[in-house]
């Protein structure tokens, strides 16, 4: 028998109450505050929910309670493996809370971020997680006026909108560059793509370290506005060698670019690390598995995602973290691609 449109109407809380033979108020309490009703009542309401396929209407709930149970997450890319780890941390932490996660992709555009924030604002979110600390004044004003906990991730700075958890990109890049200097490399370049503010801070850290070592040469910097990828890393490394044939190492603004540089070295029969050192950033899974293994900076992406949700959950209970800004730090992961001494031994053998 064909179903009519009335067969597809949404199941309401009233339907659940009627099925369970309880009042609407009791059904509501059983779902929202189960500890306030008896086990017998909870079982009847649960059976009704399962039988009818009832799903609470978040929009209606938000109107009644002033907020929804949604944590909005704004990230600039859904394909970048770094954000995959961040999201994994967010979802794992949310499992232990009553919150649901909703993701939006800003595509590195401030105008898109503002547009998406207005969408979230209409949903009265329980909290928001946003990427970076470089929001425009207009975006900061929107975030400040939402009336819910806001956590900025992926970076740290002196002026959080509300709360912040991340790490210092400039300091991490200084450590990466100093490692190359300590390994004996002297003509050290920088290759970067999609030069957002976080990548720019990595470039600043590279400049800091080489300036301190009296090795800085701005002709060894090559950047592109294009999205990062392994293929782009290979192509840009070829361009880099053409403009700086005497270079002996490169620091790339992420591991995708560094792996591309490594593959290009292999195509050109350039020994890594004996003839050339390569340093990445973010320590994605492939870094340790490449041959030679790729030196990188391990960034706490998973821990950041976890921490952001935990901060929102705590703030919702009136237990705001102190301090409001948390620097998780980074870790240098030295591997074969920069181990120049070992490379020379292997070449000699």
What pLDDT is stored for residue 54 in this prediction? 72
pLDDT confidence tier of residue 80, bands split at 50, 70 and 90: confident
Show the domains of the chain with their CATH numbers.
10-56 (1.10.260), 65-167+301-318 (3.40.50.2300), 169-298+333-348 (3.40.50.2300)
* Residue (of 88, 136, 94, 91) closest to 115 by Cα position: 136
Tokens of 83: 């954000």
pLDDT averaged over every residue in the chain: 89
How far, CA to CA in Å, does 101 sit from each of 75, 108, 248, 346? Answer: 13, 20, 45, 50
The answer to whether 333 touches 260, Cβ cutoff 8 Å, is no
* Residue (of 311, 3, 1, 336) closest to 160 by Cα position: 311
98-135 confidence digits (pLDDT tens):
999 999 999 999 999 999 998 998 888 999 999 999 99
The answer to whether 150 touches 162, Cβ cutoff 8 Å, is yes
Quote the pTM value.
Answer: 0.79
Is the pLDDT at 46 greater than 60? The verdict is: yes
232-259 confidence digits (pLDDT tens):
999 999 999 999 999 999 999 999 999 9
d(CA 190, CA 164): 29
What pLDDT is stored for residue 236 in this prediction? 98
**Mean pLDDT, residues 78-92:** 93
**If you ran DSSP here, which 8-state letter would residue 10 be given?**
P
The answer to whether 125 touches 146, Cβ cutoff 8 Å, is yes
d(CA 306, CA 162): 17
């Amino acid at each position: 028998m064909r179903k009519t449109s009335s067969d597809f109407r949404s199941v309401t809380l009233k339907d659940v109450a009627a099925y369970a033979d309880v009042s609407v108020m009791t059904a509501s309490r059983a779902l929202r505050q189960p500890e306030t009703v008896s086990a017998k009542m909870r079982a009847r309401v649960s059976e009704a929910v399962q039988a009818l396929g009832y799903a609470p209407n978040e929009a209606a709930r938000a109107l009644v309670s002033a907020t929804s149970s949604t944590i909005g997450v704004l990230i600039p890319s859904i394909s970048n493996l770094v954000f995959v780890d961040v999201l994994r941390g967010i979802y794992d932490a949310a499992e232990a809370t009553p919150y649901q996660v909703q993701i939006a992709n800003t595509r590195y555009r401030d105008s898109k971020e503002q547009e998406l924030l207005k969408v979230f604002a209409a949903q009265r979110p329980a909290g928001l997680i946003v990427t970076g600390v470089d929001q425009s004044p207009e975006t900061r004003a929107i975030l400040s006026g939402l009336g819910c906990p806001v956590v900025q991730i992926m970076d740290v700075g002196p002026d959080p909108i509300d709360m912040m958890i991340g790490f210092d990109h400039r300091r991490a890049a200084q450590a990466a560059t100093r490692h190359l200097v300590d390994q004996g490399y002297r003509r050290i370049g920088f290759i970067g793509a999609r030069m957002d503010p976080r990548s720019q801070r990595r470039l600043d850290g590279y400049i800091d370290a080489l300036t301190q070592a009296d090795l800085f040469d701005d002709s060894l910097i090559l950047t592109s506005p294009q999205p990062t990828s392994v293929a782009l890393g290979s192509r840009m490394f070829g361009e880099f060698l053409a403009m700086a044939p005497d270079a002996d190492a490169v620091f790339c603004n992420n591991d995708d670019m560094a792996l591309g540089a490594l593959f290009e070295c292999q195509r050109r029969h350039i020994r890594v690390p004996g003839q050339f050192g390569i340093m990445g950033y973010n320590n994605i899974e492939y870094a340790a598995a490449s041959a030679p293994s790729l030196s990188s900076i391990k960034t706490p992406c998973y821990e950041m995602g976890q921490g952001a949700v935990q901060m929102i959950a705590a703030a919702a209970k009136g237990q705001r973290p102190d301090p409001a800004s948390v620097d998780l730090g980074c870790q240098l992961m030295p591997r074969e691609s920069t181990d120049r001494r070992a490379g020379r031994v292997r070449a000699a053998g």
